[in-house]
Structure 1
């Protein structure tokens, strides 16, 4: 494997073997091509094996306790090797797929520790990071948000693309804009960055029951978009924000949505219960999350 430490800036696609891994790779490939950056396929090995043996260490004799601890260590080693080998196979397979598509600037990396720990360590090298909404342990839970997603969104300061469906070409992007710093960053990123191609249509939506204020925010959005040659459509709606966004997403065939996340907060409940979480749980297209 090539060494990720030699790369200065890259698109990082997190691969864990879950049902979203291939889609994460494909969306990552698209972004890497647009940004003309290397694509890094990252597999993390988190040692959280739970033994099938009962822990009776408090009620058995000295010799038996030593035997049990040795058995537990051996079992954990076997499980870790299985995770490592499986991760390497997945990385090799996806790298071959990327190269066969005609893109050769791809690096595979396997690291130990949690995804959160590794992303924080690699933060300065990432231009964009992509991962699935839920990992391999939640393959059957369509609506369940992976346990590390909240911490990553809150603490990793790069654009995040959260993948929740199979890959499909990006033709239309929607930006939810409310004038706050996060949504302004999302609008700036999607309108000025080459991350999404110029031929993609950009829909900017504001939902506010105060019609005058909504129109003012739409005008602000127009000013933020410096490239006036982009194909943009501006939408002002009143009503329930989540409902209106979902309706507009469907009626305009939106392929990916950009949103600003919540502001920084130390409480772990800062994300859950917020509008960001409602979007993550209900929008059935990938999300670009910025703060």
Structure 2
């Protein structure tokens, strides 16, 4: 059995993550797991003091630091459990099926990789509890999680809104074709109007690619329309989305190497930062 896994951390994004995850669980007919990971990096080991003290003082300090670390970890564990319980109650009160709760200690990305084989969809907020700086538009774990997973990731905005229309960014690449396959095979968005948008020259070749993609999506039950737009990829996609008020934007994620991204930048990261609606990363 495969699951919807939603990352819950008690940040302001948690209610939206709960709502999106419960909706996705209902759409897919898959059970939901609410996951809270207690990040071990927030609780450093106390066996490396940075001051030069005597042996007696060192032993006493080490005992006190160990006691304090243990207490902080205990309180964080309790807080995480309360956060999960509150999230479960929210979902039940909204009329959805009761989710399972999972509490882990360690690295979020490593935990997700361990769970990946049983994962159907990952749901994460754009900013988590560790995103404290106002200038930090996306969470510290989000980009790494998307890069490391080979499952679709639903990135949630601050407020839940049931998707009624979809914009699919399409470039004819292998990643885009795989994304088409995933949408065709999944009931998550089936039946919704979907605009398949390509950024580039309006050529016969591009029109043929779009027509083929639209046919496949139409056969799977989508209402399709194809569009070719000129301009910079991010600006053109976001402008078209805003103009037509699409509720969800779907696109492939991180199709190029980190070396290329270093020199030319990443469309995925830019869209994560700038998109104001739900964003479905097809992996």
TM-score norm. by structure 2 comes to 0.90
220-229 or 231-240: bigger deviation = 220-229
Q: What does 1:100-179 correspond to in 2, within 5 Å?
A: 100-141=93-134, 143-179=136-172
Q: Match for residue 5 of structure 2? A: 12
CA deviation vs aligned residue, 1:207-250 (integer Å, no higher than 9, x gap): 10354343233223223325265222222111111111011110
CA deviation vs aligned residue, 1:133-179 (integer Å, no higher than 9, x gap): 22202145365332322332122111111123211121111110001
CA deviation vs aligned residue, 1:162-205 (integer Å, no higher than 9, x gap): 1232111211111100011222222332344101242x221111
Would the aligned equivalents of 2:199 and 2:231 in 1 still touch at CA under 8 Å? Answer: yes
Q: What does 1:49-88 correspond to in 2, within 5 Å?
A: 49=42, 57-88=50-81
Residue 286 (structure 1) aligned with residue 261 (structure 2): no
Would the aligned equivalents of 1:49 and 1:79 in 2 still touch at CA under 8 Å? Answer: no
Q: Secondary structure of the residue that 2:30 maps to in structure 1?
A: coil
Shift of 1:115: 1.0
Would the aligned equivalents of 1:174 and 1:249 in 2 still touch at CA under 8 Å? Answer: yes
Gap change, CA 1:14 and 1:270, over 3 Å in 2: farther
Residue 29 (structure 1) aligned with residue 22 (structure 2): yes
Shift of 1:68: 1.7
Aligned residues: 281
CA distance in 1, matches of 2:154, 2:264: 18
269-278 or 20-29: bigger deviation = 269-278
RMSD: 2.5
Shift of 1:265: 4.5
Residue 214 (structure 1) aligned with residue 206 (structure 2): yes
CA distance in 2, matches of 1:61, 1:268: 52
CA distance in 2, matches of 1:139, 1:57: 26
Q: Match for residue 203 of structure 1? A: 195
Gap change, CA 1:223 and 1:270, over 3 Å in 2: farther
CA distance in 2, matches of 1:183, 1:108: 34
Gap change, CA 1:30 and 1:139, over 3 Å in 2: farther
Shift of 1:18: 1.1
Gap change, CA 1:256 and 1:143, over 3 Å in 2: farther
Which structure 2 residue ranges, 5 or more long, are not aligned? none
TM-score norm. by structure 1 comes to 0.88
Gap change, CA 1:271 and 1:176, over 3 Å in 2: farther
Q: What does 1:239-250 correspond to in 2, within 5 Å?
A: 239-250=231-242
CA distance in 1, matches of 2:263, 2:278: 18
Shift of 1:277: 1.1
Gap change, CA 1:74 and 1:134, over 3 Å in 2: same
CA deviation vs aligned residue, 1:22-54 (integer Å, no higher than 9, x gap): 111110001100111111111111123368x9x
Gap change, CA 1:120 and 1:56, over 3 Å in 2: closer
